[in-house]
Structure 1
Amino acid sequence: MRTTHNAKQRPLSRRLMPLAWGLAAVVGLVLCLTWGALQVQVTLAGFLNGESLWSKAQKQAVIELAAYARNGDPVRLQSFRGNYEVIRTDRWARDAIAAGHYDRQAVYAAFRRGGVIPAAIPGMVFIIDHFAALPYVGPALKDWRSVDGALEELNAIAGQLQQSYAQGIPSVEEINRQRARIDALNAFIQPRSDDFSLQIALGAAWLGRVLFISVLVMAMLASMLWMRMAQRILAGIRGTEERYRQLFDSAADAIVMVDEVHGRILGANRTAGAWTGREPRELAGMHFHELFVEGSMRSAGSSTIGLLRAINGLIRSVETHSSLTTWGAQPVRQAIMRDVSDRIAMEQERRIAAEALASVAEGVIIADADRRVTTVNSAHTRITGYTLPYLQHHRFDELRRMPDGSPLPASIWDMVAEGGNWVGEVQSWRSDGSSYPELLSISAIRNGEGRVQHYVAVITDITRSKADRQRLEYMVAHDALTGLANRSEFQRHCAQAIEAAARVNGAAAVLFVDLDAFKAVNDSYSHAIGDRLLVKVAQRIRRELGENDVASRIGGDEFTVMLGGLRTREQAAHFASRLLQSLSEPMLIGDYEIVMSASIGIAGYPLDGSDPVTLIANADAAMYAAKTQERNTFRFYTPLMHADARMRLMLGADLRQALIRDEFHLVFQPSVELRTGRIVAAEALIRWRHPERGELMPDEFIPLAESLGLIRRLDAWTMRAVCNQIHLWDQAKLPPIRVALNASAATFGHPGFLDSVKQALQASGISPKRLLFEITESAILRLGEATEQTMHALHALGIGIAIDDFGTGYSSLAYLKLSGIDYLKIDRSFVTDLPDSANDVAIVEAMLAIAKSLGMCTIAEGIENVAQHEFLLHAGCTEGQGYYYSRGLPPQEIERMMSPNPRHEPSRLRLVPPK
């Protein structure tokens, strides 16, 4: 509650001022008398202190002199001299004051040397100088002076004794004589010293009584005068108080008088009692803040607003003005409370409306009946940049147009005038001249007669939401990585192209594009490089598109292209050739130059299908045929392709069952030493006895097993079967030949591969040196750094490693430096045309030279005639495989050929142990 001083109380203050001054005078007089009494007491204390010191010094001097006379101790003499000096100093100061002409500072110094209390020295000097004749003071001074001669005689005796001891030890008679004199002088001094002390003590008591009576009389006289004056003043005030009380109780506002110090109510008028539900006298003694709801009081300028609570629970808002006054000497706060409940309610409604207007994120415009702007909120200024002073001279519809650029139609105002609310998108302008899309809502405020008094327009900048919607629509219809259309958008465009072709009896074609060996790029470089490569591919596809063409990425490395406006589907061949040429050009991705190829399948409307789904499926089947037969080419769809696709699906299901039913078996193709023709090894080849299709070769089901994730199970079966077969041959006492088996990249790079090898060796009990794992260059490339670790671990076990099909992959000489490689297998593609092809001759001779320099054993595949055999033998190849020696044979045939005592005709192949 704010406090102000009330100027109307000043006359009363002036009337009470004499009482205050009188009281101050009484208090001042008492203080002065008390101070004087204290000074006198301090002086008497000084006298008593001086007397005590003087008496002590006199007594101690007599004792020290008597001791000196007895034993001549110089220390005793020195102590006597010190005490005598105290007596002499006090006596000198006393006599100097009595003389009337003295040096005040020297006297003060003498008393201080004598040990007198410094605060009492001025009073002692004053009393000795001016009041030596006071009762008890005069006799005390007389006693003090009466012993001066005796003290001087003691000093003379000290001098005589000092002279006697200086000449030798005095006689006993001399010492006794001097001690007798000392005792006589002490008998003279002692009564007078005691009388001096008594006189001083009696004087102090007498003076204390005099001072007390004086102070009491003066205080009583002053108080009586003050009370007489107060009676006259208060009699005049009482009449004024009665008149004030009448005004106080009849006031329409509640008035409460509050003790400023303690906050307690001293009085209240009848209005305050009525508002609180209490009698005014019941309010007296209560704390002022107890009348209000806790925490409701708040400052409002020079006043305070709070919630006044009555006994019955009724609460009203009151505004309190207070002024500080005094009741006598008591500070009192006069609090005047006015009921402002109605005003607070109105202000709250206005504040809520104003805060709501200011805080909403949408811009708000309030205009008059002529649509001229009267008020805008901060959000409107932030959105448009226009300030209220500028807009007050304009109609708010002047800066807005319909999306097509036309002015807002009159129908809007008619709708709003009839009580409706118009909401729509408009084009609006900012203060910098830029335009933006805006959602505008217009409503009207009417007067009591129903006429439009104001328009309220709410605006929202929908630039971002429109952009988000467009971006979302784009994302829904396009691939996030490449920006091409996605599957659903592509099908929509494809349907439109089919409808257009149907109207003009034309054609449309769908091309299904799949990148060749894209997985190797991901595995070799990284998926990030793979993504950048897909973006490059999309750019090149988009570069070849025509006006009626659409491209999409439907997943992974698969793209589709729709060619519209064709006369026949065969026209798509020209586009497919251009696209293959474009995609085969090197692509620079960061620091890498990557060369890719693609396989394309083509299906056309109306020959290959009449709807997008069918055309895409048929183009996919054609693409698979292109990838299977040749790669980096295109194929048109034929119905037979779908039969092949269905056959692949059926074969995949049969492959899973084949593993369960154990439909696989092994055949072994011997590997002979070219120089001697002896069998030194055999390669294990897997076969599948299909229950319906008969025996299937690996080329028919191994790629399918890799795509279905079954290749590791096949490799594990093969490894167990090979180990078991070697164990059976060992039991039959056959020569210990080496057996090679192929390992896929998925198996070779698996973390559990080495453990599975160890388990198979342990279960069969064969030597690790009997095994040879063949791995292709492409598998080494896919495995990366893990290849060398696995090879090193196998080599440590004693298992051999061979690079299979060398020369058909990347032919990197870095592979040959990997630890653990023992064999190099030359692919059959380099053997087929030997010795007639000069290129093949040069390549094979180079491979053999490299292998020889690295200490590797070479094995040539696909030897089918004597000319190939003779060339490889003379070129330095170590071993060979092929139909010239033998096809893949069942284990029993290998056992018959290697048996030391064959029961059939001897074979031209002779068995030799491996070197």
Structure 2
Amino acid sequence: MPLAYGLAAVVGLVLCLTWGALQVQVTLAGFLNGESLWSKAQKQAVIDLYVYARSGDPTDLDNFRRNYEVLRTDRWARDTIATGHYKKAEVDDAFKRGGVIPAAIPGMVFILDHFSQAPYMGQAVKDWRSVDSSIEELNAIANHLEQVYAHGTPAAAELEQQRARIDTLNDYIQPRSDEFSLDIALGAAWLGKVLFFSVLVSAMLACLIWFRMAKRIFTSIRGTEERYQLLFDSAADGIVMVDETHGIILGVNRTACIWTGHESNALIGKNFQDLFIEGSTRSAGAQTIGMLRAENGLVRTVETHSSLTTWGAQPVRQAIMRDISDRVAMEQERRIASEAMASVAEGLIIADADRRITTINSALTRISGYTLQYLQHHRFDELRRMPDGSPLPSSIWEMVADGGNWVSEVQSWRADGSSYPELLSISAIRNSEGRIQHYVAVVTDITRSKADRQRLEYMVAHDPLTGLANRSEFQRHCANAIDAAARTNGAAAVLFVDLDAFKAVNDSYSHAIGDRLLVKVAQRIRRELGENDVASRIGGDEFTVLLGSLRTREQAAQFASRLLLSLSEPMLIGDYEIVMSASIGISGYPLDGSDPVVLIANADAAMYAAKTQERNTFRFYTPLMHADARMRLMLGADLRQALMRDEFHLAFQPSVELRSGRIVAVEALLRWRHPERGELMPDEFIPLAESLGLIRRIDAWTLRAVCAQIRQWDQAKLPPIRVALNASAATFGHPGFIESVKQALQISQISPKRLLFEITESAILRLGEATEQTIHALHALGICIAIDDFGTGYSSLAYLKMSGIDFLKIDRSFVTDLPDSSNDVAIVEAMLAIAKSLGMYTIAEGIETAAQHEFLLQAGCSEGQGYYYARGLPPVEIERMLLPNPRHEPSKLRLVPPK
């Protein structure tokens, strides 16, 4: 049916297209008819007017006016349609008066309204309009002759003059009339071809769609048969089709063949009962269970389900055999598990769906002292409570009902009335409908293990020397105090206590005395604590104290004063009397942080300020105490990991030839994508990298990344532009620098001429003679050298005499105020003059305005960089700029392929 409907649709489409083509042909016929009438009327009008000029016969004048009226009516209809505002009835009436076929008038109006500029039609209309004024002039001649003849016979000279005017107008009108006729004929021929090919292509597409639909339907039919056969053969159960009358096998699937070890051809025709071991089959309700024997001697237990069907008129029984060997084995294992239940060390409880105990093992009796006779018909949760004394929550049963396994510690009671901690695990056994049939509870007495765990937890959470909390336990208490303060709009304070000159005690009296002193200090700190306060030793002679339930941070000052006074009292350690003092730093929530680590760090910073300024005192934290140092420390730690985590990436800023505006080079700009602070500029981390000794590794990564990017651009067939990169003084002056450059070039297989190393004036002068050697070595490789930030370093220009320097980069500080600053103008012109005399190219940095661009161009600068052209861009944007015909070419940049 889909194919029949599709075929009917194809035929209908072809008929519709044919009908449309006929309608267009009718319209063309109307056009040709109108053209014929118009041409005939024009020619006859000229003839009639010429005869009238010679004879003066009114009949000839009437004939002229009749033909002129046809021309005027057609012209009015044409011009009215061109305005776009017309009444269809008036236009139709005008064309009818002109003699156009009525059936073709709607099509003519449509074409003149919407397709007046179509091929040939536009020229025809143009030719038609070109004779309007000439025809009007003929009408003027007719009116003039009518007036002349009305006053008598005109002079021969007058008549000759009018006939000459008529001839002249006819000479102008005739070729354009012929051209109009030719254009209409050619247009009709062109449109006929278009119609033919349109109908042909549409019919071919419709037929193609129909054939594809037919192919898909036949493929679907064939796929259905294949899927049925695949489903039959891929069934996990063995399926055998048996003749109900004779018990002969008619067909088998692949699983039955595998189980029996025979091919399907060998099984077809055999008796179905011969597949089983004799005497092994037995009925089990509607199913039959038997031992299926394979060719290799393997025996499996199968459960057979039979159903009667018909193949045509033949009754056939479908036998579906399911392997239940695993189920039989599981039943056996269940019997073994039941026997093993009595011998396990954990107590086992089996209860019904109402949680009433039905079975226990001997281990439970040994643990609790209860017998099965006592516990039967009791709910097993009656004798158990949560550790806080509350009943077991209803969420337990909801969780188990959802298929979970609930495990937790509970408090249980023995038969003698004593309680003990118990690890209780509850799960459910469900029936075939998924409903809970039994609960299984596993009970373990954890009295000893809990005591061991509590002892271990205490050791893990406390300092072994002083018994105070350790750092992790203190941070946990601190987090709880912060949450409590947040709920009550209160405050909490952290005190960082450091003993003054404790190292001198260790050095003078021994470490054993020092440890005993720390124990004394811990005792005095503990003595000052309130109910919600916690003290810890976080290492060495450093202690922290948490003060909770405060209204403001400043309340901690009273505690700090008491603690300083307590710690300053003499301590008797053996035979020694030791007098100590301490420095205390205080930070508080929410003013100084909302995280335990931050509060401890801030209190540490405040303690350091107290120790540095005075000692034996306390200070409240202020952000200025360690903001810079902490930020530098954290950033330094992150910087060491940045290379391993591949957090650096490159941006590229184009360098433009000022004279032509073409991109001749790009400068590689290093960026650090910090995981927390976002993208960092080089001035934020390069000085730190130099101080940490990481700058050489970063420069090496930059060199490899630049070479790899150049290689990638070359493989993409982009124009071979120059790429500049910066080199630090530490890298430039290192003995292995040249070798690393050679290795990078060899690995990437790029031309050395593609690279430009930039080094600052200050770095050149700092390296001394090593600079010249390195520059010569790079120059020998073919790599260019540029002096970066020219004009901002030392006043000595001696280094400009070194050979191998190809470029001077004028620093942006001299470009910013151009051309308004006379001083900058003089300096830049001097730099350009020096560079020109030394044969060096110049690159101006920081160009941001058209005025700067124009000044530098007129002054003779070769290249320029800056936001006026582009910022630092990712490689993909550079690739888009370098494409021969970029789709979105920036207005200020224009690529000219390099020479």
Specify if TM > 0.5.
Answer: no
Structure 1 length-normalised TM = 0.31
| Structure with more contact order per residue of length (Cα contacts < 8 Å, sep ≥ 6) | 1
Task: Find the structure with the greater CA-based Rg.
Answer: 1
